[in-house]
A = this chain, B = another copy of it.
């Protein structure tokens, strides 16, 4: 176990359990270093993880303090800020896919631009509706370069594309760039999502990257308005 993970886990647990309460001061870096037999740099790295998670804040010259968040909210925050496919996010629910389209096409210009590949390079085009406990919640249109994801099968598309990428192809998914917008559903979307015409939808446009830097996925996800929420912790850049 990495020492900085051990230290940050220790304090995260104490905070979530309520041993450290809102506005309490954590021990100083030197005290923590003595307790865990760790150097200053390691302690700093450990506590900076909690700062990134948004549960403590540091002030030079003063110390490190637990934020004013009540314990219930705190637990939710600790769960947040990961990115996963629909399947992984709903472990206690039955997630299925209805595949409406699965074909190989020449990459249109806008897709080629997002994936940074040559126009007309072959890409999969996949349209599917994801259902949670039988209810349609999101309609996804996904493009993936055939060069990066060879021999994708209908079976993979019906279950979990991410599982196929990670476990079969051993590709490592690292980051995603996501843009969230809102609009009215089209006729097709309202049919597939069991909505009224012109009901609101959340549109999530995403470009996914592997850890070698290649874009492997460009997708539009159209979410039912009553089944979408996105939570994020923002840090102000001071510059």
Contact = CB atoms under 8 A, between A and B. Distances in A.
A184 B200 contact: yes
Given A65-B212, A115-B68, A229 B181 contact: yes
A175 B213 contact: no
B70 A116 contact: yes
B211 A182 contact: no
Interface residues of A, number: 62
Interface string A135-149: 000000000000000
Contacts of A103: none
A237 to B, nearest CB: 5
Given A54-B175, A82-B237, A233-B175, A59 B211 contact: yes
A7 interface: no
Contacts of A226: 183
A68 B213 contact: yes
Interface in A9-58: 22-23, 41, 54, 56-57
Contacts of A116: 22, 68-70
Report copies per complex: 2
Contact of A215 (B65, B67, B81, B115): B67
Given A82-B236, A83-B235, A176-B233, 12 more contacts: A23-B214, A54-B209, A62-B212, A70-B116, A175-B235, A175-B236, A178-B234, A180-B180, A180-B231, A181-B225, A182-B182, A184-B225
Interface of A: 22-23, 41, 54, 56-57, 59, 62, 65-70, 73, 77, 81-83, 113-117, 173-184, 198-202, 207, 209-215, 223, 225-226, 228-237
Identify the 10 closest CB pairs spanning chains A and B, nearest first: A200-B200, A83-B234, A68-B116, A67-B213, A182-B225, A182-B202, A65-B213, A180-B230, A57-B213, A68-B215
